[in-house]
Amino acid sequence: MRIVCIGGGPAGLYFGLLMKKLHPEHSISVVERNRPYDTFGWGVVFSDATMEAMRAWDPESAAEIEDAFNHWDDIELVFKGKKLRTTGHGFVGIGRKKLLNILQRRCEALDVELVFERDVNSDLEFPDADLIIASDGVNSKIRNRYVADFKPDLVVRPNRFIWLGTKKLFDAFTFDFQRTEHGWFQAHIYKFDAETSTFIIETTEETYLAHGLDKMDQDESIAFCEKTFADTLQGAPLLTNARHIRGSAWINFSRLICGQWSLFNGQSHVVLMGDAAHTAHFAIGSGTKLAIDDAIELTRQFQTHGHGKEHIPEVLKVYEEIRRVDVARIQNAARNAMEWFEVVGERYADTLEPEQFMYSMLTRSQRISHENLRLRDKTWLEGFEHWYAERAGLKGEDKKQRGNERGLPPIFTPFTVRGTTLPNRIVMSPMAMYSAKDGLINDFHLVHIGSRAMGGTGLVFAEMTCTSPDGRITPGCLGLWNEEQAAGWRRLADFVHHNSSAKIGIQIGHAGRKGSTKLAWDGIDQPLDSGNWPLYSASALPYLPNSQVPQAMTQEDMARIKADFVRSTELAATTGVDWLELHCAHGYLLSSFLSPLTNLRNDEYGGSHENRARYPLEVFKAMRAVWPKDKPISIRLSCTDWADGGNTSDDAVIFARLFKEAGADMIDCSTGQVVKEEAPVFGRMWQTPFSDRIRNEVGIGTIAVGAISDADQANSIISAGRADLCAVARPHLSDPAWTLHEAAKIGLTSIPWPKQYYSGKSQYETLLARAEPARTK
């Protein structure tokens, strides 16, 4: 084949040398606009997996690259007058110029043609090429020529950064956060050769403009940065190798995803590679990794399908299918890390203490978990656990596992709100059981809730408990509108308090337009065939096309239903439960007022955020007035509607502030279920970012929910300050003793079991210990 690689970065050079090595008959050229052996940029970071692959595919270049590597294990944080350090992280770095020079020499040794100082404007400049590799970077001229085919989604991110270097050497990957009168600057610093360190400085657009950096030239910008990071630089100057960039040299990162990666231009097949196809933020240092991995995978597919040009279409198809998966995974992690740095000032740096800030920074991509940190640096993590336990009010031996110096993991520390102290941070989410008659608690609920309380959970909720017969979702829902129902709750609360250390809560709500439906197993959200009751909502909009149409609430309706909420609250106060939650989520009655998709009112209860929240706040304030002052009330909130035109996390922040000002103690951060047309983005811990934002921007305690499946994930969430409590739902359905079992799985043997089950504790722990060697083989 005749192959032309447009762009002499890592992707084009490495693909060229691999293909020439494996099939010398190919005629391969790499065309680069810069001069020979000249490149821009400072150091780049490699992963162990990429290096292992390079050793397998071309040991010669891999050996030379490894000889030039700088390796470090430590991460150091400079923040609020402290220096904190942790080890075991295993990075390797190399100068970008050094890397490309190695690959250039290897290409020359294999007779790959290197063409320098040629600026390619079109793939049609190479009519004899069978395959054109468009590896010409994020601003690819080749990709931009075929926008309709490649469908690039290019988003310019808000932060500004400048990529500099220094001759001061750092023995750890250093993150330095400095606050100025206009906001925070952060530096990403790492050594990449025997003489030089990369020094990337980042800040928000607002801080960049407030300091007038947009009006400075490069020398003025560098002088500003040297002054800002003077304590870390200790007199060493900052250097630039980007004199070709006009102005201050501060740029924005562009996140790129392409809908298609290849096409046939009428004479040649064209395929995107490296930054021309996708980008990953420097916060996790994967841009070079993705480029090298692209080159390896495309080469692998030619090896599999054959090197003849007739195989090109199938090769490109499979290449894209395989690479999309890994690229999406890396981009998701990079996005998490990138977004952390974009909001780090207001959300974390202003509010968190250095120890917790360090933890949040280390786990920003959500790829590193609590137990993974223990494997990397046991000493540091256990020091953090002791620190966290002290902040939770534990002292001396209480902050350790009994008989063990190991710290108590954060989810097993107590949490106090008003006069209620939970024994740990795990909550069993309210989950509809559809098993009541006339709203009454029965033996099923006693066993269901009681067994989960005995299973170690810190706080147990029953399902949403409705304020009136016409407030139910289904005929099988719990209710609290009469004394007989309250008596059932007293029995349940007494059982929980006498047989476990758990606290128990009631979630009160009204189904609104989602009411009068069948039991879930008979047809979820489907209207009853008979025996329907009237529905009420903010506006007269049915939930499904075949759903009953609700009545838009009048002032009289609002007064009556608010009185129902107050009556339920007064009854709840007589039951001895410890916690109350008001359901303002999932498209139920109060949620229907908050969302612009379900609230089309033009009176004082519709329109602005304050108006849409007016009725839910009226209900909450009336409940708070009759609920005991020493007991908490949380608010269940849909923090996004997952639908165009609906509420987003920006709106959730506004509503959370309004509820906080009204006296709410916590926000239970759920999402969606407001409209059937929603398009949620699922994944592990998928709703935690909403809790994170509300907790750290609004300054109110939060409960994280959504695909939290083990203690490791929960510990990561609590430790990083992304939530104060973790609500676990479905895992509790399959394992009533989920909390006790998770404690045993992470080696925490000091958590007591119910005395009746104590003989099972040692057996369970022994079986886990026996299984561990086989599991880790």
Q: Pick from 192, 201, 200: which is nearest to 169 by CA?
A: 192
3-class DSSP state for residue 683? coil
Q: CA separation (Å) from 607 to 644, 651, 658?
A: 17, 13, 16
Contacts of 545 (CB under 8 A, 6+ apart): none
**Would you say 386 and 407 are in contact if contact means Cβ atoms under 8 Å apart?**
yes
Encoded tokens for 686: 């998928």
State the DSSP string of 609-629: HHHHTHHHHHHHHHHHHHS-T
Q: What is the pLDDT confidence band of residue 777, given thresholds at 50, 70 and 90?
A: very low
pLDDT by residue (tens digit) across 433-490? 999 999 999 999 999 999 999 999 999 999 999 999 999 999 999 999 999 999 999 9
Q: What is the pLDDT confidence band of residue 351, given thresholds at 50, 70 and 90?
A: very high
Q: Is the pLDDT of residue 97 over 90?
A: no
Q: Pick from 667, 668, 626, 632: which is nearest to 418 by CA?
A: 632
3-class DSSP state for residue 380? helix
**Would you say 582 and 624 are in contact if contact means Cβ atoms under 8 Å apart?**
no
Encoded tokens for 261: 């990666």
Note the residue count of the chain: 777
Averaged pLDDT, 165-185: 95
Q: H/E element holding 374? A: helix 370-376
Contacts of 748 (CB under 8 A, 6+ apart): 401, 408, 409, 412
3-class DSSP state for residue 348? helix
Q: Is the pLDDT of residue 39 over 90?
A: no
Contacts of range 77-80, beta carbons closer than 8 Å, 24 or more positions apart: 77/174, 77/175, 77/177, 77/354, 77/357, 77/358, 77/361, 78/174, 78/175, 78/176, 78/177, 78/231, 78/232, 79/175, 79/176, 79/177, 79/349, 79/354, 79/357, 79/358, 80/177, 80/353, 80/354, 80/357
Residue 331 one-letter amino acid? Q
pLDDT by residue (tens digit) across 201-219? 999 999 999 999 999 999 9
- Residue 237: CA count within 13 A, CB half-sphere: 7
pLDDT value of position 51: 86
Q: Is the pLDDT of residue 402 over 60?
A: no
What are φ and ψ of residue 341, in 5° steps?
-70, -30
Q: CA separation (Å) from 75 to 143, 408, 635, 662, 758?
A: 38, 24, 38, 42, 43
Cα 5 from Cα 227, distance rounded (Å): 43
DSSP H helical ranges for 132-284: 141-145, 147-150, 205-210, 218-228, 230-233
Residue 702 one-letter amino acid? T
pLDDT value of position 775: 52
| Residue the block writes with tokens 């990083």 | 720
Express as a percent the part of the chain with pLDDT over 70.
97
- Residue environment code for 176-212, b if the CB has 16+ CB neighbours within 10 A, otherwise e: bbbeeeebbbbbbbbbbbeebbbbbbbbbeebbeebe
When mean pLDDT is compared across 319-323, 405-409, 615-619, 630-634, the lowest value belongs to 405-409
Encoded tokens for 758: 């104590």
Q: Are strands 633-638 and 666-670 parallel, antiparallel or unpaired?
A: parallel
pLDDT by residue (tens digit) across 252-308? 999 999 999 999 999 999 999 999 999 988 877 678 889 999 999 999 999 999 999
Cα 391 from Cα 58, distance rounded (Å): 52
pLDDT value of position 403: 47
Cα 462 from Cα 460, distance rounded (Å): 7
3-class DSSP state for residue 426? strand
Q: Is the pLDDT of residue 6 over 70?
A: yes
pLDDT by residue (tens digit) across 316-348? 999 999 999 989 888 888 888 899 999 999 999
DSSP H helical ranges for 273-364: 287-305, 312-342, 354-362
State the DSSP string of 40-52: ---EEEE-HHHHH
Dihedral through CA 735, CA 741, CA 745, CA 748, nearest 10?
A: 160
3-state DSSP: the chain helix, strand, coil percent, rounded to 5?
Answer: 45, 20, 40
Averaged pLDDT, 151-175: 94
Averaged pLDDT, 565-588: 98
In the chain the first and final C-alpha atoms are separated, in Å, by 45
**Would you say 208 and 158 are in contact if contact means Cβ atoms under 8 Å apart?**
no
pLDDT by residue (tens digit) across 585-625? 999 999 999 999 999 999 999 999 999 999 999 999 999 99
Catalytic residue among 208, 359, 543, 588: 588
Q: How many of the other CB atoms lie within 10 Å of CB of 223?
A: 13
| DSSP tag of 275 | G
Compute the mean pLDDT over every residue in the chain, rounded to the nearest whole number.
93
Q: Is the pLDDT of residue 35 over 90?
A: no
Q: Is the pLDDT of residue 674 over 70?
A: yes
State the DSSP string of 437-483: BTTB--HHHHHHHHHHHHTT-SEEE-S-EESSGGG-SSTTS-B-SSH
**Would you say 168 and 233 are in contact if contact means Cβ atoms under 8 Å apart?**
yes
Q: H/E element holding 27? A: strand 27-31
DSSP H helical ranges for 472-613: 483-499, 520-523, 555-573, 589-594, 609-612
Contacts of 142 (CB under 8 A, 6+ apart): 6, 120, 122, 123, 132, 134, 136, 270, 272, 276
Q: How many of the other CB atoms lie within 10 Å of CB of 119?
A: 10
Concerning whether 588 is annotated as a catalytic residue, the answer is: yes
663: left (phi over 0), alpha (psi -120 to 50) or beta: left
- Helix 48-57 to helix 287-305 angle (10° resolution) is 40
DSSP H helical ranges for 644-747: 649-662, 688-698, 711-719, 730-734, 738-745
Q: CA separation (Å) from 80 to 39, 354, 357, 752?
A: 37, 7, 10, 39
3-class DSSP state for residue 312? helix
What are φ and ψ of residue 78, in 5° steps?
-110, 115
Q: What is the pTM of this model?
A: 0.90
Q: Is the pLDDT of residue 774 over 60?
A: no
